[in-house]
Chains A and B, each alone.
Chain A
Amino acid sequence: MSADSSAPDRIVIVGASLAGLSAAKTLRAEGYSGVLVLVGDEAHRPYDRPPLSKQVLRRDFGAETTLPQPADLDIVFRLGMAAARLDRTERAVILADGERLPYDRCLVATGTRARPWPNPAEAALDGVATLRTRDDSERLAQRLRDRPARVVLVGGGFISFEVASVCRELDIPVSVLVRDAVPLAGAVGAPLGGFMAEVARGAGVDLRLGASIARMEADPRGRLAALVLEDGGRIETDCLVVAIGAARNIAWLDGAALATDRNGLRCDRFCRALGADGLPAGGIFAAGDVAHWPNPHDGDALVAVEHWGNAVAQGRTAARNMLAPGPDAMVAHDHLADFWSQQFGLTIKLVGLTAGADSFAVVRGSMAERRFLAVFGKAGRTVAAASVDSARWLPAYRAAILQGAPFPPLIGGLDAPRRIETQVLEDAAR
């Protein structure tokens, strides 16, 4: 009998965050009673990241981020300690201090880190920060409390817009530098990105599109003083937040002959990690932001979904499959991506993936009212829906996406615009 068909009694989860904890909870709920080790390079118990760019920065009373954890999980934590290497032959995770943790199932849930500013000297300046961890967020919250004269964000994604929104709430002047012509377009397409740009400007954000930083200026003590832009413009600031995306934490897998690349760790629909040979690597699974997996809702095209909901669901699926006696008993990961963001007083929700979408239409409410639901189509089928302060209809559209309903779906009825205008998405939402 191969090691993978006997019931496991040593499971090591690397990455003590959302996906890892979700897997740990599922393992126990499914009756797993063996050793369960959770390795995390951060010193904290698993915590939640979405509040880091929202409530924590606003210093909302009671912005508790530690994830709730049932008392009886019986987890052996190795916190503040990175996994340095994976020994597939001996089936062991080797920690930075040399400790070997043997496993018969291992879950890779190491997520991503903030992509650093490409110029290391500039990235090291006092006043240049990124936002991924609780420590990052607390430091930034402290900076905001000192009321900087201007905060600058570079990057046109959700984190950038959320932080800008908090700055405006705190009445701190803020600039957002976006290299593309439209912000957020990668996630929600140009029409919705354009809408959010208007909203941000209306809230007093100095939003600069098609802008990039040529170089940074520092004072003699190595503190950021100003940014010089490619167009020659200059912005004085001592607080820059770099929010230019995420990079997968896979360096520790080097040498393990796994199928890794910049998109993360490849896995199959059962969350089994693949080896460099393209075959499932014995006993190794992946979940969360680090996983690169075939999406059944998009003809098995490979995706890496960097959303909260996926990390929870994929952790759960991977855990079930780690306990399965064989592939026949495994369940496929078929989570339909979903995501939310809060900014400028609006709640934005998205279901499905907009990548490759070729058409867009507002089917409930209107952009003018700032309350609407829009759908995304790809080759005549509905692939995603986004709501702005109208989440109530989202479940219906979610069902339509799951059915691959013709685009545009669910027309007419309550809150319906007089006329539905379908816009063509250039560049397939990118």
Chain B
Amino acid sequence: MSPTITTSSEANGNVSAATARAAASAAASAEAAGPQPVTMAKALNTALADAMHADSSVLVFGEDVGMLGGVFRITDGLTATFGEQRCFDTPLAESGIVGMAVGMAINGMRPVIEMQFDAFAYPAFEQIVSHVAKMHNRTKGAVKLPMVIRIPYGGGIGGVEHHCDSSESYYAHTAGLKVYTPATVADGYRMLREAIDSDDPVVFMEPKKMYWTKDSVDLGELRRLHTEGTTAGRTSEGRAAVARPGTDATLIAYGPSVPTALAAAEAAALEGRSLEVIDVRTIVPFDDDTVCASVRKTGRAVVIAEAHGFASVSSEIVARVQERCFHYLAAPIRRVTGFDVPYPAPKLEKYYLPGVDRILDAVDDLQWEN
């Protein structure tokens, strides 16, 4: 007999851990063993399914996430596997989706909700800012909101207007929200599982142009590590990763800009320059230690992000690094970001998006002559 829907065992609930997180996943048996080529979409989908197997209070809902499996297919098969009470379509109303999730989280569930696209999360902004972010503080921790708001974000897919925004700064600016954004397939799995397990609300920003990115990943091993207790004691939260080690300058990036930064570092290596690439992973909480250790080592830094640069996560990173590493800097920190214009039409996006050349130009500007 499968577990019935019960109260979340960790937040706002009094029911004991009836839904053993360690429960072996049915999906596991169907998988080939060892590392396989896996897309980001598949990793996220597997993370959702595994979380739903592990804890019956995990619910998935949003627009077209049921029968269709989501417009990006991230929720594919969940309704068939778990029934339409655990993965279901809602009426078309983003504030309704987030607001209902708040109520469900108050009453013992762990909702994982999908905003169909970045710009279509804006109707939910009031719920996110006034309630999701503030409930824990307002109630002095009596009410936890263990919910995840998944948002496909960013450009690079030739999308039409309102489908390519980088909206992370709005959420990062809001006290009380955690903001995760994976940049590798393995992190897609790992970080989504951790976001669902978190007792704090997490805005989970999925770089949509990376949904079809493939890495060689052992999902079974990732699942085992997660089940055995948070990735060998190292959760992703607040831990940036050194995506590529280097010695001459640091490229700081997150989400969709990480592959671009890695490509730039590869190109720079051919020119004899060794660039370290830092993948921020969780914008909130931010890993000052890893980022600053790298900048102190290299003495030079460029921050890369797709979002508009003005009043953004990239400005925040520059400010933080400057405050902490001023005496180690050989040059002012540079930024390569989207221009301060509304996200452009598909034929213009190549001029807007940070690319390898623009990054290398910024690196060239880091006062190497001294």
Q: Do A and B form a real pair?
A: no
Binding site for B on A (CB under 8 A): none
Residue ranges of B at the interface with A (Cβ–Cβ < 8 Å) = none
